[in-house]
Amino acid sequence: MTPKYVIGGNWKLQILRVEEAVSIATAIAEALEKLDLGTTEVFIAPSYTALYAVAQAIKGTKLKLAGQNMYFRDKGAFTGEISPDSLKDVGCEYVLLGHSERRRIFGETNAQINQKVKKALEKNLKPVLCIGETAQERKDGQMEAVNRQQLAESLADVEPEQLSNIIIAYEPVWAINNPFLNPNVEIKTATPEQASDAHNFIRAWLVSTFGETAGSQIPIQYGGSMKAGNCVDLLALPEINGGLIGGASLSSETFMPIIEAALGQMKK
Ligand code: PEP
């Protein structure tokens, strides 16, 4: 069975007002209603403060909701953190974990991400586990080693039968449109060849670690400056099962063409 497609919009710290978040989410949800998504899933990850209002606005539509991060404990004296139970309470189905901005700007480790992955699974939230190498690591020939380590340590103690609830997002750091992550690097989308190599490597690791049945069904998204102009070639690759999109997910006009491209590829 081929993995389903999953398209996610990561709004980061870009849409600051609840009213604006609701308006964009509503436009995306309305556009989605006109499409036959089949098994494809689409989610957005607004700021925490907008989650509840967005959840109300998109209730009953095809658009799903994700948290951008969470803590690995349920509750307690942990100032500034967000509980998986709170994400569930406002209607999140997914949670982004280990995004490179969390890893590189906020110092999150694979061990912490592993605790979060296990907690999300326990709480019935689908973790979107983000992995990816920096430009320097790729230049040093470490692409496979870095991604292998992030996968192995972030998925430690996860059982094969839990895998159907996990999504992997391969996001090479050098392709993410973020100058803080890439101070001296020309930011550009991975070529289909580069993405294909990495996705095949990740798939092979998943299959060899978790077995053919579990390992071959996890969606592997590509993320990094994906937009209307470059998504068709990437999404045409059978090894790319969707996308995690930052900048281009911030409006219905820029996000919908990517979703439509994914659906077009699925029909081929
Ligand atoms: C991301 O940060 O997940 C991402 C893919 O961002 P962008 O599309 O803006 O490069």
Does residue 219 lie in a domain region?
A: yes
Does residue 127 lie in a domain region?
A: yes
Supply the CATH number for residue 89's domain. 3.20.20.70
Taking residue 68's Cβ as centre, other Cβ atoms within 10 Å add up to 23
Count of domains observed in the chain: 1
Does residue 1 lie in a domain region?
A: no
Eight-state DSSP code of residue 183: T
pLDDT of residue 41: 97
pLDDT of residue 185: 85
Decide: 176 in ligand 1 pocket, CB within 6 A. Answer: yes
State the pLDDT confidence band at 45, using cuts at 50, 70 and 90.
very high
Q: How many residues does the chain have?
A: 268
Counting ligand 1 atoms within 8 A of each CB, the residue from 68, 100, 176 with the most, and so the one to mutate, is 176
- Ligand 1 centroid distance, CA of 38 (Å): 25
Residues designated catalytic: 99, 171
Q: What is the pLDDT of residues 230-258, one digit of tens each?
A: 999 999 999 999 999 999 999 999 999 99
- Ligand 1 centroid distance, CA of 245 (Å): 5
Whether the per-residue pLDDT at 267 is higher than 70: the answer is no
Whether the per-residue pLDDT at 111 is higher than 80: the answer is yes
State the pLDDT confidence band at 9, using cuts at 50, 70 and 90.
very high
Q: Helices H, strands E: what count in the chain?
A: 11, 8
pLDDT of residue 265: 78
pLDDT of residue 258: 97
- Ligand 1 centroid distance, CA of 107 (Å): 18
Give the C-alpha separation, 80 to 78, whole Å.
Answer: 6
Whether the per-residue pLDDT at 13 is higher than 90: the answer is yes
Q: What's the predicted TM-score (pTM) here? A: 0.97
Percent of the chain residues past pLDDT 90, beyond the cut = 94
Q: Ligand 1: which residue has its CA nearest to atom 1? A: 246
Whether the per-residue pLDDT at 116 is higher than 70: the answer is yes
- Ligand 1 centroid distance, CA of 226 (Å): 7
- pLDDT averaged over every residue in the chain: 96
Query: What residue numbers bound the domain in which 30 lies?
Result: 6-266
State the pLDDT confidence band at 2, using cuts at 50, 70 and 90.
confident
Q: What is the pLDDT of residues 157-172, one digit of tens each?
A: 999 999 999 999 999 9
- With contact defined as beta carbons under 8 Å apart, do 125 and 88 qualify? yes
Return the ligand 1 atom nearest residue 226 CA: 8
pLDDT of residue 182: 87
Eight-state DSSP code of residue 251: S
Return the ligand 1 atom nearest residue 248 CA: 8
Eight-state DSSP code of residue 43: E
Whether the per-residue pLDDT at 268 is higher than 70: the answer is no
- With contact defined as beta carbons under 8 Å apart, do 234 and 189 qualify? yes
Counting ligand 1 atoms within 8 A of each CB, the residue from 6, 10, 173 with the most, and so the one to mutate, is 10
Counting ligand 1 atoms within 8 A of each CB, the residue from 130, 167, 225 with the most, and so the one to mutate, is 225
Whether the per-residue pLDDT at 93 is higher than 90: the answer is yes
Choose between 75 and 184: higher pLDDT.
75
Decide: 224 in ligand 1 pocket, CB within 6 A. Answer: yes
Q: Ligand 1: which residue has its CA nearest to atom 6? A: 246
pLDDT of residue 122: 97
Decide: 9 in ligand 1 pocket, CB within 6 A. Answer: no
